[in-house]
């Protein structure tokens, strides 16, 4: 089964201008995702982009590039629509969707996910465990817990939260469901220390220290 990866990296970004190629400890941000893919069991690494600068950098780093139509690269465009465009234009059986804003991803994370696909899972996402903590809404109301009956942390089951680093699915399931995951879904757990994404300048400064 042919395994490829795709990194969705559009040019527009409001939080951090040109975020996907911002300098992160001497490398463009997208290089961390490309390197993780190239060092994994993925056969081809692709970048889907509408930006000529991202295209040039990605090609220089050894990735293939698919030009993404501008209507699939707006602030309101879904990642799933870009994945379906990719599926229409590139040959593969298994797709690893990697987000460039998660530079702490490692090749072995991807390989673990591919192994699960080979072991009868239809889709995979990456995540990390979370202990219960009291959450509040923005209008300062308890979110999914009762202030009169506050549970102890150890009495509430742990949860897995998506960390957004990567997703894996088959072409068949992607086209059928129109979603990045469907069918029998599994999770590759990553430690919290490698589950941060870059969305703000504050995130950028934090990850500079973690790398």
Q: Which residues are catalytic?
A: 150
- With b for 16 or more beta-carbon neighbours within 10 A and e for fewer, the 170-190 pattern comes to bbebbeeeebbbbeeebbbeb
Q: Which of 128, 90, 94, 87 is nearest to 114 (CA)?
A: 94
As a whole number of angstroms, the distance between CA 102 and CA 21 comes to: 12
Name the CA radius of gyration of the chain, rounded: 18
Q: Which of 160, 166, 16 is nearest to 83 (CA)?
A: 166
CA torsion sign, 13 to 15 to 18 to 22?
negative
* Dihedral in degrees, nearest 10, Cα atoms 107, 94, 166, 129: -90
As a whole number of angstroms, the distance between CA 113 and CA 134 comes to: 31
């Amino acid at each position: 089964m042919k395994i490829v990866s795709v990194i969705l990296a559009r040019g527009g970004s409001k939080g951090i201008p040109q975020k996907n190629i911002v300098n992160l400890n001497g490398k463009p941000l997208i290089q961390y995702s490309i390197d993780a893919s190239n060092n994994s069991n993925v056969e081809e690494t692709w970048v889907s982009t509408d930006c000529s600068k991202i295209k040039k950098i990605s090609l220089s780093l050894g990735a293939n590039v698919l030009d993404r139509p501008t209507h699939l690269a707006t602030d309101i465009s879904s990642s799933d629509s870009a994945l379906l465009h990719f599926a229409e234009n590139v040959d593969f059986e298994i797709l690893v969707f990697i987000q460039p804003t998660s530079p702490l991803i490692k090749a072995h994370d991807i390989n673990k996910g591919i192994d699960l696909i080979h072991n009868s899972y239809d889709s995979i996402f990456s995540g990390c465990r979370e202990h219960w903590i009291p959450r509040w809404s923005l209008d300062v109301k308890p979110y999914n817990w009762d202030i009169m009956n506050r549970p102890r942390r150890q009495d509430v089951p742990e949860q897995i939260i998506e960390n957004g680093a990567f997703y894996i699915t088959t072409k068949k399931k992607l086209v059928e469901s129109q979603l990045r995951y469907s069918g029998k879904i599994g999770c590759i757990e990553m430690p919290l220390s490698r589950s941060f994404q870059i969305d703000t300048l504050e995130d950028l400064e934090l990850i500079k220290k973690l790398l």
